[in-house]
């Protein structure tokens, strides 16, 4: 087990007053070794905390006195200290296998760790779940959890995961539900493999075996140009339409039997099929928003001012909790509203139009190709000729990848090079992770100044100068 390294200490916090320093390696709290940030939070909530750290090769004990429940004020370098439980499945549709070379090393890590499911909403197949894990989930109330189902037929699921334990690991889902744990499920649909009759059978299996699921998201697979699996391909329009038909028929059955629709299809299916999105009421509290379900309707409500809350990009349960590091796609996006100018690096001198006030500039909204289909009618409804939607084709990943969250700096730069000077370019923060695009490019590297905007309808409307 490796030690957690302190990477930040909040000014004025109990930890700073007690003398904790950046670079300290956390060994134990009040005499107890800690495996992850979950235990860190629980033990750190006590009013009297003894931190044992390694500093410059020496063991140091630091006494922290504070009120119960007050955060220590630390951020550590990893959410788990005893090593991420990696995934030993070999799913053909796994997007990590389809990443190009040369990206940040952390992006290639496949996890199947129930703790990251709790902390950040990652999906787990439960193929590495154990009796001890179940006991801890129940003892510490680690919920909600997110489980990849993909198929309820044991042999089909084992084939999809390329892991014989895939045929039996859903027994842990049954155990979690029996214990009253809130679980959200997901089915990634692969054309010709687990769609059509297999998908219908899976939804019947969920109703029969796992009706207590909080929700079930049916989502399409992503296929990049770097895919090497011959069976994996994007959906056709007809296949997307068929998935919607199966899901909507299941919703009627679930509602009649359970009193709730339970399952929903991703927005991308409606875009692929050329169908109108279901009404906002069909998504309830938008519980599957993070899985791309109901995002378009939620954004529309936010943009129109009809929503009392802003969903935006959900950061994961622990993202704002003391101690938890922001990792991967859920890292801090950037400061919304911030202007990032490439001229700060001496790329070129700003023209007069570049430095003009925003009120004098036309506005361009940068977004993925799928996002453009959602944004275009909303922008058109404003009746303004100074605002346009600029889709950014994803050449970095290629294939059917068109979501805004996977836009990369190289593709944005390519679009901006031929874009006029002096316009305001709005960049949604969802495509940034820790202030960088997935390809490592930073907004300041772009050939035009961009303004980072939080990825929700209300923030966009405010950025456009419309009434909030």
Q: Are residues 28 and 172 in the same domain?
A: no
Number of Cβ atoms within 10 Å of the Cβ of 11: 7
Which SS3 state, helix, strand or coil, does residue 133 take? helix
In the prediction, which pLDDT does 106 show?
A: 77
Query: In CATH, what number is assigned to the domain containing residue 175?
Result: 3.80.30
* Sign of the CA dihedral running 452, 453, 454, 456: negative
In the prediction, which pLDDT does 317 show?
A: 43
Q: Are residues 257 and 212 in the same domain?
A: yes
Q: Are residues 173 and 26 in the same domain?
A: no
Q: Are residues 101 and 52 in the same domain?
A: no
Q: Are residues 43 and 188 in the same domain?
A: no
- Residue 23's domain comprises 4-76
- Give, as one character, the DSSP assignment of residue 467: -
State phi, psi for 18 to the nearest 5 degrees: -80, -15
In the prediction, which pLDDT does 340 show?
A: 73
Residue 355: CB partners within 8 Å, gap ≥ 6? none
In the prediction, which pLDDT does 372 show?
A: 97
d(CA 132, CA 138): 10
Q: Are residues 167 and 195 in the same domain?
A: yes
In the prediction, which pLDDT does 318 show?
A: 45
pLDDT digit of tens for each residue in the chain (468 aa)? 678 899 999 999 999 999 999 999 999 999 999 999 999 988 999 999 999 999 999 999 999 999 998 999 998 988 899 989 999 999 999 999 999 988 888 788 889 999 999 988 899 999 999 999 999 999 999 999 999 999 999 999 999 999 999 999 999 999 999 999 999 999 999 999 999 999 999 999 999 999 999 999 999 999 999 999 999 999 999 999 999 999 999 999 999 999 999 999 999 999 999 999 999 999 988 888 888 999 999 999 999 987 666 564 444 444 445 666 665 545 555 666 667 765 444 444 344 334 334 445 799 999 999 999 999 999 999 999 999 999 999 999 999 999 999 999 999 999 999 999 999 999 999 999 888 999 999 999 999 999 999 999 999 999 998 655
In the prediction, which pLDDT does 103 show?
A: 84
Residue 82 lies in a domain: no
Residue 90 lies in a domain: no
Stated as kind and residue range, the H or E segment containing 16 is helix 14-18
Query: In the chain, what is the straight-line distance between the N-terminal and C-terminal CA atoms, in Å?
Result: 50
Q: Are residues 120 and 71 in the same domain?
A: no
Structural domain count of the chain = 3
* Domain C-terminal end among 293, 314, 338: 293
In the prediction, which pLDDT does 326 show?
A: 61
In the prediction, which pLDDT does 434 show?
A: 81
Q: Are residues 447 and 346 in the same domain?
A: yes
Considering the entire predicted model, what is its pTM? 0.89
Residue 237 lies in a domain: yes
């Amino acid at each position: 087990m490796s030690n957690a390294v302190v990477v930040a200490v909040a000014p004025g916090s109990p930890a700073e007053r007690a003398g904790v320093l950046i670079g300290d390696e956390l060994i134990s709290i009040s005499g107890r070794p800690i495996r992850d940030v979950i235990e860190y939070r629980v033990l750190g909530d006590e009013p009297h905390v003894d931190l044992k750290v390694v500093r410059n090769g020496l063991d140091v004990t630091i006494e922290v006195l504070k009120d119960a429940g007050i955060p220590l004020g630390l951020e550590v370098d990893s959410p788990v200290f005893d090593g991420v439980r990696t995934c030993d499945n070999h799913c053909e549709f796994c997007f990590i296998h389809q990443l190009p070379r040369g990206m940040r090393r952390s992006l290639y890590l496949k996890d199947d760790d129930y703790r990251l499911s709790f902390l950040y909403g990652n999906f787990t197949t439960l193929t590495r779940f154990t009796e001890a894990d179940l006991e801890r989930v129940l003892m510490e109330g680690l919920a909600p959890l997110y489980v990849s189902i993909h198929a309820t037929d044991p042999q089909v699921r084992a084939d999809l995961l390329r892991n014989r334990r895939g045929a039996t690991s859903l027994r842990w889902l049954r155990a979690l539900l029996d214990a009253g744990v809130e679980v959200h499920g997901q089915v990634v649909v692969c054309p010709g493999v687990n769609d059509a009759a297999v998908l219908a059978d899976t939804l019947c299996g969920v109703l029969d075996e796992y009706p207590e699921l909080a929700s079930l998201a049916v989502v399409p697979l992503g296929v990049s140009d770097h895919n090497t699996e011959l069976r994996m391909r994007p959906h056709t329009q007809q296949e997307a339409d068929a998935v919607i038909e199966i899901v909507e028929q299941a919703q009627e059955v679930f509602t009649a039997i359970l009193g709730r629709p339970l399952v929903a299809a991703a927005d991308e299916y409606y875009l692929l099929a050329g169908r109108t999105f279901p009404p906002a009421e069909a998504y309830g509290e938008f519980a599957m928003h993070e899985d791309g379900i109901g995002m378009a309707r939620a954004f529309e409500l936010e943009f129109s001012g009809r929503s009392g809350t802003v969903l935006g990009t959900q950061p994961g349960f622990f993202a704002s909790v003391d101690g938890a590091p922001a990792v991967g796609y859920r890292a801090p996006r950037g400061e919304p509203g911030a202007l990032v100018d490439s001229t700060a690096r001496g790329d070129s001198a700003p023209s007069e139009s570049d430095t003009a006030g925003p009120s004098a500039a036309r506005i361009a909204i940068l977004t993925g190709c799928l996002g453009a289909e959602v944004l275009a009618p909303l922008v058109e409804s404003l009746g303004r000729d100074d605002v346009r939607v600029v889709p950014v084709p994803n050449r970095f990943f290629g294939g059917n990848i068109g979501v805004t969250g996977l836009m990369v700096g190289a593709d944005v730069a390519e679009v901006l090079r031929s874009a006029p000077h002096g316009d305001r370019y709005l960049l949604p923060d969802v495509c940034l992770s820790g202030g960088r695009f997935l390809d490592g490019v930073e907004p300041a590297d772009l050939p035009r100044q961009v303004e980072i905007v939080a990825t929700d309808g209300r923030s966009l409307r405010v950025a456009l100068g419309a009434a909030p």
